[in-house]
Amino acid sequence: MKLEKQTKLAKAGWKVSSADEFLGLTHEETSLVNIRLALAHTLKGRRLKLGLSQVDLARKLGSSQSRVAKMESAESSVSLDLLVRAMLATGAKPRDVGQALAMA
């Protein structure tokens, strides 16, 4: 957010803070959210690069298209294990998973 807008909001009595502060997340919770987002973003990128549809990836995983959509949107109902398995199903190597985690 631009400094000018922050200043206007502060003058109007609003508090400007991060999403972590607003939600009251601990450092560990914030890190976990960032890891989930990095894996989801990388998974979607790999799928698109390979020209796979969500249905194609779902078939590889023995899952459903809606589950793949949830993976790619980093929904909390999707386990980290499933995100990693999905990446591996796209041909990712452990090193690729590590690189995704390094983005978190």
pLDDT in tens, 37-56: 999 999 999 999 999 999 99
CATH of the structural domain 26-102, one choice from 1.10.357.10, 3.40.50.720, 1.10.260.40, 3.40.1170.10: 1.10.260.40
Band (pLDDT 50/70/90 cuts) for residue 71 is very high
Higher per-residue confidence, 75 vs 18: 75
pLDDT classification of 15: cutoffs 50, 70, 90:
confident
Q: Locate 38 and state its tokens.
A: 């990095």
| Coil vs helix vs strand at 84 | helix
pLDDT at 24: 85
* Predicted pLDDT at 104: 83
Domain ranges of the chain: 26-102
CA 82 – CA 74 distance, rounded (Å): 11
Query: Would you say the pTM of this structure is higher than 0.95?
Result: no
pLDDT band of 88, cuts 50, 70, 90: very high
**What pLDDT shows up at residue 97?**
96
Report yes or no: 68 and 58 within 8 Å, Cβ to Cβ.
yes
What's the pLDDT score for residue 43? Answer: 98
Contact 51, 44 (CB under 8 A): no
Other CB atoms within 10 A of residue 91 CB: 10
